[in-house]
């Protein structure tokens, strides 16, 4: 039995869900998102509660059960509250600033890095050493944050680079004479 799949998804106020076939569409104050489930699960909407049940007892049905329930829960959270990832820049001269739809990063390279922000995500730089990525699609928000971080991952000796807010960087001791 899936511990996650057993729990029904309660929709927050202002959020509605509808099911047509295997497609779940969730509408909320921040927008509309949809998810197409596999044929291994059945999804039902009863008022403001969405339940996901497996069809059969196969291993694949049990795998899809918990995953489908989590996807529906993420849709509900995305259209009501949205998702947010915060990044911190640490290092001498490391800066970030927004110019229209382009994030300009100074990361110690001989040139500035221009990161084109994709549609569906808003990126802001409230301070020169902070970047905030927000949106209603959790996967897209996480991927954009990971793509920004990939330009200069934090290194273990001085901790310089782009890291997630609150991320612990394992520090190493340098060379000894």
Residues for the chain: how many in total?
Answer: 177
> pLDDT tens digits for 142-156?
999 999 999 999 999
Q: Dihedrals φ, ψ of 141, to 5°?
A: -60, -45
For 83-164, CATH number? 3.90.930.12
Domain residues of the chain, as ranges?
3-80, 83-164
Model-wide pTM > 0.85: yes
Whole-number mean pLDDT of the chain? Answer: 92
- Cβ-in-10-Å burial (0-12, 13-18, 19+) of 87 comes to buried
Q: Work out the average pLDDT over 124-146.
A: 94
Q: Work out the average pLDDT over 95-105.
A: 93
* CATH among 1.10.3720.10, 3.90.550.10, 2.60.40.10, 3.90.930.12 for 3-80: 3.90.930.12
Domains 3-80 and 83-164 fall in the same CATH topology: yes
Place of tokens 């489908």: 68
């Amino acid at each position: 039995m899936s511990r996650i799949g057993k729990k029904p998804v309660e929709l927050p106020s202002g959020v509605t869900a509808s099911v047509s076939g295997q497609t779940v569409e969730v509408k909320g104050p921040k927008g509309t998102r949809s998810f197409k489930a596999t044929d291994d699960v059945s999804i039902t909407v009863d008022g403001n509660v969405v339940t996901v049940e497996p069809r059969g007892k196969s291993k694949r049905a049990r795998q899809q059960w918990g995953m489908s329930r989590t996807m529906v829960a993420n849709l509900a959270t995305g259209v009501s509250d949205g998702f947010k990832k915060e990044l911190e820049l640490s290092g001498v001269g490391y800066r970030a600033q927004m110019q229209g739809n382009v994030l300009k990063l100074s990361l110690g390279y001989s040139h500035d890095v221009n990161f084109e922000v994709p549609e569906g995500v808003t990126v802001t730089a409230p301070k020169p050493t902070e970047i905030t990525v927000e949106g209603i699609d959790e996967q897209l928000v996480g991927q954009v944050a990971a793509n920004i971080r990939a330009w200069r991952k934090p290194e273990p000796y001085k901790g310089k680079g782009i890291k997630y807010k609150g991320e612990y960087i394992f520090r190493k001791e340098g060379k000894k004479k």
